[in-house]
Amino acid sequence: MELARYLKDRQQLIDAALDRYLPAADTLPVRLHQAMRYSMFAGGKRLRPILALAACDAVGGDLKTVMPVACALEMIHTYSLIHDDLPAMDDDDFRRGRETCHKVYGEALAILAGDALLTEAFILLGGMAADKPEIAKSSCRALHIIARCAGSRGMVGGQVVDMDSEGKEIDLPTLEYIHTHKTGALILASVQAGCLIGGGGEVAFEALTRYAGAAGLAFQVADDILDVVGDQALLGKDVGSDEARGKATYPALLGLSEARGRAVELRDVALASLSGFGPDADPLRQIAHYIVDRSF
């Protein structure tokens, strides 16, 4: 399996599904739906839906069944980026080289486009749970996990602590709180939901939970390292932007070499948690490698 090819194929599948699931650009109110689509199709890597699909693969599930869940996760991720970029939050004018939603559509519409994308995710998940009685139980459980991971004790909570920590000296436990919540929670939800909808049992669920916890944190450590040493194309934002903003990072707290060691350690925990799986889990394995290796 060649990972680059795999990721690209999956991105295309996911983009096509997102296009089907999102309200058409000419649906009223038109500008709202345009704003939602503008941010949804702004060149995201689709990491969360790819992880949901890969977790579904790992337990031998059906890709078509998990696709709405995968797309809902990407909608939630995109809403969080739109709101993070707002003037009252990070005040970013650009993301991945394109103007941010509020720069193009104005602040009010960007707030509402974010709100609508978050809600759209639950329309998709709720529709799936309501219309497919054969997977209603796992759908409800997946929906519940996704909501918890996205909420005040998950992603939104991480964003609040991150915001409160800007320009302050923070310790490693606070940094880990931020990352396990702000980005880790939704990555965890992606893998867990993919496993559930794919029909994975409790043993697989526990193993994939360990995988996602380690891989999610590794992703963030690697992202911090890339912010110091990386190339802008890989990172999707300006190199050095965390430091400029006074954000705590792993390299700043641990030093570059120890941060790299931590990333490798987390990658290996992620790989070890997959020991009970066969080749169906190879995409998850390669993604764990990719996450960490790009920061070297």
Structure tokens that stand for 168 in this block: 């302050």
Give CA 226 to chain center in angstroms: 17
Least distance from its own copies to the Cβ atom of residue 90, Å? 9
For its own copies, give the closer residue by CB, 138 or 220: 138
**Of residues 144-203, which lie at the interface with its own copies (CB under 8 A)?**
144, 146-148, 150-153, 156-157, 159-161, 163-164, 177
For its own copies, give the closer residue by CB, 36 or 52: 36
The answer to whether residue 29 forms part of the interface with its own copies (CB under 8 A) is yes
Residues 112-151, one symbol each (x = binds its own copies by CB under 8 A, - = not), give x-xxx-xxx-xx--xx-xx--x--xx-xxx-xx-xxx-xx
Least distance from its own copies to the Cβ atom of residue 187, Å? 17
For its own copies, give the closer residue by CB, 47 or 112: 112
Least distance from its own copies to the Cβ atom of residue 72, Å? 11
Task: With H, G, I as helix, E, B as strand and everything else as coil, classify residue 99.
Answer: strand
Among the listed residues 3, 6, 31, 265, the single contact to its own copies using CB under 8 A: 31
Contacts of 24 (CB under 8 A, 6+ apart): 33
Q: C-alpha distances in angstroms, 294 versus 4, 129, 223, 285?
A: 12, 37, 9, 14
Least distance from its own copies to the Cβ atom of residue 223, Å? 21
DSSP assignments along 126-151, one per residue: HHHHHH-GGGHHHHHHHHHHHHHHHS
Q: Which of 258, 280, 128, 294 is nearest to 208 (CA)?
A: 280
Q: Which residues pair with 95 in a beta bridge?
A: 98
For its own copies, give the closer residue by CB, 151 or 246: 151
Contact at 8 Å (CB) between 15 and 25?
no
For its own copies, give the closer residue by CB, 93 or 293: 93
Contact at 8 Å (CB) between 249 and 243?
yes
Least distance from its own copies to the Cβ atom of residue 4, Å? 34
Q: Which of 87, 108, 3, 103 is nearest to 47 (CA)?
A: 3
Q: C-alpha distances in angstroms, 192 versus 195, 202, 255, 278, 294?
A: 5, 11, 32, 18, 25
Least distance from its own copies to the Cβ atom of residue 274, Å? 26
Residues 65-104, one symbol each (x = binds its own copies by CB under 8 A, - = not), give --------------x---x--x-xx---------------
The amino acid at residue 159 is Q
Q: Is 41 exposed, middle or buried (0-12, 13-18, 19+ CB in 10 A)?
A: middle
Residues in contact with its own copies by CB under 8 A are 23, 27-29, 31-33, 36, 79, 83, 86, 88-89, 106-109, 111-112, 114-116, 118-120, 122-123, 126-127, 129-130, 133, 136-137, 139-141, 143-144, 146-148, 150-153, 156-157, 159-161, 163-164, 177
